[in-house]
A and B are shown apart, each in its own frame.
Chain A
Amino acid sequence: MENTDKSLIDAHCQGDPAAFSELVRRYGDSILGYLMRMSGNHHQAEDLFQETFKRVHEKAHTFRGGQFKSWLFTIATHVAIDGMRRRRRMRVVSLNQKLDCTDQDSEELSAVALADDSCEPSQEAAKAEQAEQVRDAIESLPARQRATLVLAYYQQLSYPKVAEVLGCSLGTVKTQMYRALRTLAQKLPDV
């Protein structure tokens, strides 16, 4: 029988290294995807990923039950928002995964966008360009709106769950989501 999140976190608190490993594997893809969309940069997402699980490890004893996934996404959101603020302060130029960029991260993300190998090269290029525009549009959103959108749309969390993760009311989540979508409606490309 599969261990529950709670049993794993308890085992981790008792010093079982395998439990932590299991938690990382269980939620790794989901958290990395979330952080990639939040940061728009694979390399930075990996750093945030490490920071997220570092905090999980450090704060594990404060977890008082409930939905581990929500708790984990709350931490990831805080880490991502902190990271974005830091990045703004440090004036780090976003790698942004431009197609003409030779950065490895960019190649990796472009590979994601181009994963559909049934397309013609010209279509693939157009699709990659559109994906780029979508990424830019999402990146232009304020942190809270971006977190709301990514959690609700890409991570497919219900709005009450998003509210739990972000620590705000359901109404606030809906307002943030609407504002994000209104902005995106102006910026998203036609596909």
Chain B
Amino acid sequence: MKNHLTEQELIEYQFKLASDIRMKETAEHLQGCGQCRGHLEKLQRKFAALDLLREGAKVSEDLISRVIEQAQGSISDSILKKRFFAALRMTKWAAAAVLLVGLLLLAAQLGKDGTKKREVAKEPMPAVEKMVRASKPEITSAEGLDEDMVEKRTLAMAPMEKRVDRYAAFDETAETAIPEEPPFAPASAIELVVLPRRDKVQLTIYNSADLTLVRERRNLTLKKGWNWLQFMWANTLIDPTSLSLEPLAQADKIDIQQLVFPARLRELGRWLIRSEVSGQVPFEITYFTSGLSWRAFYMGTLSQDEKTMQLQGYVRVGNNSGEDYEKAQIRLIVGKVHILDQIAELAKRQYPYNRPIGRIGGRGGEYGFGIQHGRELDRPEYVDEYFYDRSSSSRLGELRRKEIRKEGLSEYFLYTIEGTETIPDKWGKRLLSLDVEDIEIESLYKYDEQRWGEQTIRFVKFANDDDHNLGETPIPNGTVKIYGQADEQGYLSYVGGTNIKYIPVDEEVELNLGPARLVNVEPKLMDFKTENYRFDRRGNVAGWDEIRTWKIEITNTRELPIEIEITRGFDTAYWTIQTDAAYEKHDATRVRFKVNLEPRKKQAFEYTVTTYHGVREETLAEKN
């Protein structure tokens, strides 16, 4: 026996990789060589492990359906291609002619497509429209093609268009019996009812929750019998559980049977509609969505004497819902709503604004951009012209502010923006909601170490009532920025800003504008002593009095007179005070002094406070 077989020879023998001659030689060798047989058996055992993965896979119905559905989307295209190529296989000359015509058509179609694309780019397409168009193959001009071929193609490609034409008007006379049992599901996407564009859409945006109620009106073309209507919300934040569909006409003849969410198909629902009529029917689709929001912000401009203020309020509507809303009527709800679930988390984003807009004219009157006291200011980039109605015929080119109508709605308040607005996805718009001049204000400074430390805080105070030219509606919460007149030319300077909470009608509001650098309060402890010690039976101190004399110095370096409120706390409810200054007891442990100070003046006052401790507290109680 010659050399033993190598591993390669054994593998090649086992897996029949060797030539026939080599296979025969190896077999003969193995017959006579136990050692090689042993090696082969060892290899066989080794490769037997491969059989652990021999279990076959079973393709699921779900996967098959997905594959078929995926193919169905483009099946019509391939048919078209096939038939086109079949047409080209006609006689030589005919084929050449068809090819020529085809090329001409292709050129025409390319031009048409280009125009379409440009139109689409201009005009945002709602998600629902996207779905409709996706399921509706394009029909190109049929000129120059074989008539039979054109007819077949039209039938294959666009049954919905044909159906729409056929049922252009109500046809109740058609005596087709409607099967009692509804179809299990549409056989294919082309059996779904085509959703036309929205006729009207209304958005009611709740700013207290990430919630918007959308009401869409669409004219749907139904056939007599069972209809499937598909609604897709891919890449939007629509809450599918809130979807509702109602006919606005022929309600007694149309029955919305069910809304199904087919397995495998994500982010779409199909309504099953039983209709006894054929033709166009107006429907209202309502649902909740997230991602639409609005918020208010305000800009106040103080007069030079700081006795009055112009207040401009804005609302900014933002759309991050994933859906474009064209020509939507927008209603904004002020007030808190109770919802069970957050539909989605809002990606709230701060947008730049805070540039005051100059004023022209009187209260609630006309508006202009960028003009203030005859000067032109920089036009803020963020000011959106969509909210200004250019169609006003009052003066050519004049921008007319859209009105925001406000009305009470139960415990909420409803703001309706005049007309309609288009808010594409990821866009925001702002509009002026209020512009009131000559609001009487009180400028007030406050000093309270316990609250703000050793700094004076400036406040502007007014009320949301008739006396202040306000009081028509509550004022929604938002950010307020206050500007002051920096000089006689009308230049503005930033004074301060704060957030305000919802201000009901007839309520007062104090705007905290932050530290005031030009008004200084300096308390100085002038004297401190203790007295009236009391001792218990063991000789320990059981009570005493502390007497402090404070001098408060106030400096007003402003050019305007000021009123300042100084709050002093004693950390105990047992105290007495002696002073010539006017004060009021604010609460058990604090007093407040009010001081009016002329421009560029200093003023000081003193007070002596005695605080009682331990058993001396009882003495004070007995005195009182």
A interface vs B, CB < 8 Å? 13-15, 17, 20-21, 24-25, 28-33, 36-37, 45-46, 49-50, 53-54, 57-58, 60-61, 112-113, 115, 127, 130-131, 133-135, 138, 152-154, 159, 174, 177-178, 181-182, 184-185, 188-191
Contact = CB atoms under 8 A, between A and B. Distances in A.
A32 B55 CA distance: 12
A50 B58 CA distance: 14
Contacts of A57: 70-71, 74-75, 78
Contact of B78 (A60, A133, A152, A153): A60
Contacts of A138: 53
Contacts of B82: 13-15, 61
Nearest to B55: A112
B63 A46 contact: yes
B11 A181 contact: yes
20 contacts: A15-B75, A15-B82, A17-B71, A20-B68, A20-B75, A21-B68, A29-B58, A29-B59, A32-B58, A33-B56, A45-B57, A46-B63, A57-B75, A57-B78, A61-B82, A113-B55, A154-B54, A174-B17, A178-B11, A188-B49
Given A33-B56, A54-B70, A54-B71, A178 B49 contact: no
B43 interface: yes
A134 B53 contact: yes
Given A50-B67, A53-B67, A188 B50 contact: yes
A15 B67 contact: no
Contacts of A130: 49, 52
Contact of B52 (A33, A54, A127): A127
Interface in B564-586: none
A53 to B, nearest CB: 5
A130 to B, nearest CB: 6
B52 A32 contact: no
Contacts, number: 129
Q: Size class of B's contact patch?
A: 35 or more
A115 B55 CA distance: 9
A13 B50 contact: no
Contacts of B45: 190-191
Interface of B: 7-8, 11-12, 15-17, 43, 45-50, 52-59, 63-64, 66-68, 70-72, 74-76, 78-79, 81-82, 85, 156, 188
B64 A28 contact: yes
- A interface: dominant SS: helix
A133 B49 contact: yes
A57 B8 CA distance: 42
B53 A37 contact: yes
Q: Please name the 4 residue pairs, one residue from A and one from B, whose CB atoms are nearest each other, closest first.
A: A28-B59, A33-B57, A15-B79, A57-B71
A177 B50 CA distance: 14
A37 B72 CA distance: 28
Given A36-B57, A185-B46, A15 B68 contact: no
Given A60-B78, A190-B46, A191-B48, A135 B53 contact: yes
Nearest to B81: A61
A184 B67 contact: no
Contact of B64 (A24, A177, A178): A24
A18 to B, nearest CB: 10
Chain A CB within 10 Å, residue with most, of B48, B71, B74:
B71
Nearest to B43: A185
